[in-house]
Amino acid sequence: MLLIKGGTVVTSERRFRADVLCDDGGKIAAVQADMEAPTGSTIVDADGLLVMPGGIDPHTHMEMPFMGTTASDDFYTGTAAGLAGGTTSIIDFVIPEHGQSLHDAWKTWRSKAEKASADYGFHVAVTHWDDQVHQDMETLVRDCGVNSFKHFMAYKNALMVDDETFLNSMRRAGELGALCTVHAENGDAVSFLQETLLKAGNTGPAAHPLSRPPSVEGEAAQRAITLATVSNTPLYIVHVSTREATEAIANARLRGLQVYGEVLPQHLVFDESVYQSSDWLKASRYVMSPPFREKSHQQALWGGLSSGQLHTTATDHCCFCRSQKEMGLTNFTRIPNGVPGIEDRMSILWHHGVVGGKITPEQFVALTSTNTARIFNIHSRKGMIVEGADADIVLWDPSASRTISAATHHQNVDYNIYEGMTVTGVAKKTISQSRILWDDGTLRAERGQGRYVERAPFKKKTSDSLTEAVS
C-alpha cells in the first residue's frame, strides 16, 4: 500500500486537503483527511504538492509508420517519457496499411504496444469503406475494447477519406455506440496548394504553413460538423488550431450538437514564425499538421479551453529525428509531419495556462484527464481521485521550475520543440498502478508494465456518458 500524505487533492471540480491510499491492486482505496497509515504501507510526503489524476494523452503516434518512415518513440520510450511528465495513459492510433483489415491492424498495434510502460488504448483509423470495414468496426467495438474511430480529411492519396466514406463510418459508429474523431483539413486544397508552391519554387519549410492556411482547417471542421449532423452522431475534432475551427465547434454546440474539440499545447505557444528560421533543420522540426498559426489564433484556443467550448489537451506526439526530417530537404511536402511533446504537455499547460492566469487548477485537471476520460468512456477508472479508480496519480509541484531540453528529456528523439523554455509546474512523482514510476528525477518505468485499457461503447448515439460528458 502507498499512502500519499498531506497533499491537496485537485479534481476537475474542487480542491481539498486529503490523504490518498493506494492499494496493492493498483486502485485508490480511500481518499480521506488525516488517514492512519496501514501497517507496512509506504508513506509519501505530499506536503506542498497537488495530488491530481495522472494525465491522459488521447492523441499519440508511437512507432507509427508515416510518410515513408517510422516515428522514433516506441510504446516503451514514449509512455516512459509521458510518466516523467505526469502522464499515465495514452490513446494511440491504429493505422491500417493499404489493404489491411481494421481488425488485423488493431492486432498489429496490440503487439507493438506490449512493451508500453503505462496504460494505453486505441482509436482505429477508417481509411476506406467496404463490407469488411463495416464488419470490423463491430468486431472492434464488441470484442476489442475500441469505442472510437479516426478519420483523416487530409493526407490525400494516403490516409484521406472522402465525405461518403466518412458518412458511412459515422453512421456505423453511431449504430455501434462509438465516437468518431477527425483530423479536419481539406486534403484536396492542401494538395493543390502544395503543387502550386512547389511549381513556384517554394520548396522549404516556410511553404508548409502556406499550403495549409486556416481556412483549409475551418472549412473541413465545418464540413465534418455538417456530416455529423447528417449522420446524427457525435464528433470529436482533434488538434484544433484555428479561430475558424473553434468558432465552428462553438456554433455547433450552441445548436445543441455534441461536438468536442482537442487542443495541443504547442499550438498555444508557437506561431508561424518558427518556419521562418534560416536554419533548415530548425524550421523542419516544427513541421506538423495543422501548422503553427498567426498569433491571434492562440487567443481563440485559450478562449475555447477556458469557456468549455474546447475540451481536451493532447500532444499528437509523433517524433522524427534529423535524418528523418531530412527526407524533405529539397521538398517540404516530404518532411515527415509531426513533433514530440508527451513529456511536456502538463508543464506547458500549467505554466502558460494556470500560472498565466488563463485557467484554474481544476480546469487544468479537466483538460489534462477528466474530460478525456469522460469523452472516451473510461471515467469509472481514469481521470478521478476517488475510491475505486485506478491509482494513476501525479504529485504536482505548482511552484517548482524546470528548463526543458532534449539533453535531459526522456523522449527518443534528438530535439525538443520547447528547448530552453523554463516552465513553472513540475511533476514531482508519477504513480501508475500504485507504484511510483517517476520519482523526483528518477524514472523507474518498466517495459511491458502498461496495460491495454478496454473502452466500452456508449449505450447509443446519445449515451449518458456522452451527454453528461462535458457541459
Residue 409 binding target from Zn ion, ligand URP, none, CB below 5 to 8 Å by type: none
DSSP output for 52-65: EEPEEEEEE-TT-E
Q: From 335, 323, 315, 337, select the one nearest 409 (Cα to Cα).
A: 315
Q: Is 212 in the site for Zn ion (CB under 5 A)?
A: no
Give me the phi and psi of 133, to 5 degrees please. Answer: -65, -45
Q: Is 57 in the site for Zn ion (CB under 5 A)?
A: no
Give the footprint of ligand URP on residues 254-313 (CB under 6 A): 288-289
Among 318, 391, 437, 470, binds ligand URP (CB under 6 A): 318
Residue nearest ligand URP by beta-carbon distance: 337
Among 123, 171, 183, 374, binds Zn ion (CB under 5 A): 183
Cβ contacts of 397 within 8 Å, gap of 6 or more: 48, 49, 50, 425, 426, 427, 428
235: left (phi over 0), alpha (psi -120 to 50) or beta: beta
Cβ contacts of 91 within 8 Å, gap of 6 or more: 56, 57, 58, 59, 60, 120, 121, 122, 123, 148, 372, 376
Q: Is 144 in the site for Zn ion (CB under 5 A)?
A: yes
Residue nearest Zn ion by beta-carbon distance: 183
Cis peptide before 53 (omega within 30 of 0): no
Residue 288 binding target from ligand URP, Zn ion, none, CB below 5 to 8 Å by type: ligand URP
Length of the chain: 471
55 or 336: CB nearest ligand URP:
336
Give the footprint of ligand URP on residues 329-348 (CB under 6 A): 337-338
Q: From 57, 99, 64, select the one nearest 79 (Cα to Cα).
A: 57
All 3 cell numbers of residue 161? 477519406
Among 57, 136, 217, 316, binds Zn ion (CB under 5 A): 316
Q: From 375, 355, 244, 393, select the one nearest 308 (Cα to Cα).
A: 375
Coil, strand, or helix at residue 402? strand
Closest separation between CB of residue 397 and ligand URP, Å? Answer: 31
Closest separation between CB of residue 178 and ligand URP, Å? Answer: 19
Q: In angstroms, rounded to a whole number, what is the distance separating the alpha carbons of residues 41 and 181?
A: 43
333 or 337: CB nearest ligand URP:
337
Closest separation between CB of residue 238 and Zn ion, Å? Answer: 6
245 or 318: CB nearest ligand URP:
318
The distance from CA 143 to its chain's CA centroid, rounded to whole angstroms, is 24
Q: From 242, 258, 265, 236, select the one nearest 123 (Cα to Cα).
A: 236
5 or 61: CB nearest ligand URP:
61
Among 97, 130, 143, 164, binds Zn ion (CB under 5 A): 143
Residue 144 binding target from Zn ion, ligand URP, none, CB below 5 to 8 Å by type: Zn ion
46 or 216: CB nearest ligand URP:
216
Q: In angstroms, rounded to a whole number, what is the distance separating the alpha carbons of residues 210 and 293?
A: 10
Closest separation between CB of residue 146 and ligand URP, Å? Answer: 18
Residue 338 binding target from ligand URP, Zn ion, none, CB below 5 to 8 Å by type: ligand URP
Q: What is the CB-side half-sphere exposure of residue 8 using CA atoms within 13 A? A: 12
**Which residue do the cell numbers 449522420 mark?**
231
Closest separation between CB of residue 212 and ligand URP, Å? Answer: 10
* Per-residue binder mask for ligand URP (CB under 6 A), 51-70, x = binder: ----------x---------
User: Number of residues in contact with ligand URP, rule: CB under 6 A?
Assistant: 8
Coil, strand, or helix at residue 446? coil
103 or 325: CB nearest ligand URP:
325
144 or 305: CB nearest Zn ion:
144
Give the N- to C-terminal CA distance of the chain in Å, as an integer: 36
Closest separation between CB of residue 155 and Zn ion, Å? Answer: 8
DSSP output for 100-130: --HHHHHHHHHHHGGG-SSEEEEEEE--S-S
Among 5, 151, 172, 183, binds ligand URP (CB under 6 A): 183
Residue 346 binding target from Zn ion, ligand URP, none, CB below 5 to 8 Å by type: none
Coil, strand, or helix at residue 363? helix
Residue 434 binding target from Zn ion, ligand URP, none, CB below 5 to 8 Å by type: none
Closest separation between CB of residue 154 and Zn ion, Å? Answer: 7
| Cβ atoms of 285 and 325 closer than 8 Å | yes
Closest separation between CB of residue 342 and Zn ion, Å? Answer: 12
Q: Is 316 in the site for ligand URP (CB under 6 A)?
A: yes
* Per-residue binder mask for Zn ion (CB under 5 A), 93-132, x = binder: ----------------------------------------
User: Number of residues in contact with Zn ion, rule: CB under 5 A?
Assistant: 4
Question: Under the rule (CB under 6 A), what is the footprint of ligand URP?
Answer: 61, 183, 288-289, 316, 318, 337-338
Question: Under the rule (CB under 5 A), what is the footprint of Zn ion?
Answer: 143-144, 183, 316
